[in-house]
Amino acid sequence: MSTIAKPHAPEPQSYCLDGREVDLLHYIYMRPDIKELRGNPQKVLVAIDEYHSNHNMLINVGAVKGAHITGLIAEHKPSTMIELGGYIGYSAILFGDAIRENGGKKFYSLEKNPEMAAVASQLVELAGLRDFVHIMIGSSDELLVELVRERKEIDQIEMLFLDHWQELYLPDLWLLEELGVLVQNKTLLVADNVIMPGAPQYLEWVKGSPAHKRVMVEKLNLGPLRPNPNLIYETEVPVFESDWGKDGLAITKVVGEVKA
């Protein structure tokens, strides 16, 4: 029997978690135009992009894919948005500002690494989004349960950005299915890095028919998870050129549910 188990976090790669994220903070706060950055999300993002281009490359979503997602935010106008994997806060600033500009109420950024959450908090504060962007530290599954079942702050997912470890995309989606917060014709899921490094099982699930997903459920050891294979998704995967090569976003809509 195949297994989907919660993986151990991989060893830090050469392009992240090697001190460059803290170096980014020093770079930004030593800039001669630091006063102009305060309270200005777009200028903070430009400063991060300049660090990425001129000093050390960062693994945040970046300007190209980011612009595509802010277009989706403008189109769908969610009142709240959740991201799984906050890293340095680039996407929290970009998408949080877009949510606010389109009449939304709150952006949740869930980040497991407390050092990255600290960096993100400083940059979100600098951008003037402290009261709008809520950074939570912990594992994605535990924090999702906390938001939905314990705090009861979330009763439906309007827009979700998955950008943590790709091996967790599918288990976290299954958890959301079990929690019953995915809403027909309302929920929009956006998953990054589905081509590089890739998220094949996640794509198989969101592109699969209910019958195909039932077969997947039979073959996989789900542990305590109780996915809903009867949900019907529509998924497109636009491809973008990035500094790391070709990559794609999986953009998934919840369009219906068949009876079991």
Q: What is the DSSP letter of 168?
A: G
Residue 12 reports pLDDT greater than 70: no
Segments making up each domain of the chain, as ranges: 12-191
163 neighbors 83 (Cβ within 8 angstroms): yes
51-107 pLDDT, tens digit per residue, is 999 999 999 998 999 999 999 999 999 999 999 999 999 999 999 999 999 999 999
Question: Where residue 223 falls among pLDDT bands split at 50, 70, 90?
Answer: confident
Question: Where residue 7 falls among pLDDT bands split at 50, 70, 90?
Answer: very low
CATH number belonging to the domain at 12-191, selected among 3.40.50.300, 3.40.640.10, 3.40.190.10, 3.40.50.150: 3.40.50.150
3-class secondary structure, 8: coil
Q: What distance in Å separates the CA atoms of residue 60 and residue 58, rounded to the nearest whole number?
A: 6
28-47 pLDDT, tens digit per residue, is 999 999 999 999 999 999 99
User: According to the model, what pLDDT value does residue 61 have?
Assistant: 94
Phi-psi region of 58 (alpha: psi -120 to 50; beta: other; left: phi over 0): beta
Residue 97 CA to its chain's centroid (Å): 15
147-203 pLDDT, tens digit per residue, is 999 999 999 999 999 999 999 999 999 999 999 999 999 999 999 999 999 999 999
Phi-psi region of 180 (alpha: psi -120 to 50; beta: other; left: phi over 0): left
CB atoms within 10 A of CB 179: 18
Closest to 84 measured CA to CA, from 113, 54, 108, 57: 108
User: According to the model, what pLDDT value does residue 24 have?
Assistant: 98
What is the DSSP track for 195-241? IIII-HHHHHHHHS-HHHHHHHHHHEE-TT----TTEEEEEE--EEE
Which residue type does 232 have?
A: I
- Token pair 């039979």 in the structure block, residue: 218
